[in-house]
Amino acid sequence: MNTDADAGTTEPGPSDAELVRTVLSRATSLSLTTTGQAYDLIGLHSVSTTGQVTLHPRPDSPLAREAAAAPMRSLAALLEFTDIAPTPLRDRVRARVTVSGWLAPAGGDALRLDTARVTLRTPAGATDVGLDEIALAEPDPLAVEEAAMLTHLADSHEELMADLLGLAGPRLPRGMIRSLPLALDRHGITLRCEYASGHCDLQLLFPALAHDATDAGEQIRRLLTAPRNRAHQHHPSRP
């Protein structure tokens, strides 16, 4: 099962392009597949303000040698970024972003990815995201601090978690084994409620968009002190 509860007045979440930019902005690693090799790169890439990915392999690395030997110095490449929840959930993968294109020299030892296609995969399905949309979108302002905030909430604020779950009222399915924070962005906070079989995700929208980590804390406080007559929407899916 997968259930969303909607409490608040903001939009229900980021656009696909914003989610892509958010995943790219906080990724510290990626998987790269070329015509001849597969690589796991950790700390060897950067992302520009328009979402363009640049790789920084070591000069003597297999990737650098493969790129140098490619016809016309252009190497077909498929990059995959995996967005993983920072809390110990059963299913921690929240999204995958696949970027395909060609790697070309970008000065020094850097390799610029000339992007041809971007695909976003979430539990809701897969969709291609326009390159122009991605260039104009911005990462979520809480992206870099999200992991620390959710980990702190899970480890040190059991009573706050209980209060947030209480916002769902009787609409939350019975039999829950445990609940942990799944995601936090400027739109709101999402809790993962696990059951013996399956789970549901409880999305609580902030009364107003959060601009930074401090503002997010204030929006959570406003959620808990607001009148309890806000609408909740549940969207069940597969167990």
For residue range 53-108, list pLDDT tens digits in order: 999 999 999 999 999 999 999 999 999 999 999 999 999 999 999 999 999 999 89
Sign of CA dihedral 125, 130, 131, 133: negative
In this prediction, residues 130-135 reach a mean pLDDT of 97
Cα–chain center distance at 50: 17
Higher pLDDT, 238 or 149: 149
- 133 contact partners, CB below 8 Å, separation of at least 6: 15, 16, 17
Whether the per-residue pLDDT at 130 is higher than 60: the answer is yes
Which residues are registered as beta bridge partners of 41?
A: 30
Walk me through the domains of the chain, giving residue ranges and CATH numbers.
Answer: 16-136 (2.30.110.10)
Q: What is the mean pLDDT of the chain?
A: 90
Q: Give residue 228's pLDDT.
A: 58
End-to-end Cα distance, the chain: 4
Q: For residue 168, what is the DSSP state?
A: T
Whether the per-residue pLDDT at 183 is higher than 70: the answer is yes
Written as six digits, the tokens of 19 are 């989610």
Q: Give residue 231's pLDDT.
A: 37
pLDDT-based confidence at 229, cuts 50/70/90? very low
Q: Which of 127, 45, 130 is nearest to 79 (CA)?
A: 45
Rounded to two decimals, what is the model's pTM? 0.88
Q: Give residue 239's pLDDT.
A: 36
Q: Give residue 6's pLDDT.
A: 44
Q: For residue 171, what is the DSSP state?
A: G
Neighbours of 184 (CB within 10 A): 24
Q: Which of 163, 141, 149 is nearest to 211 (CA)?
A: 141
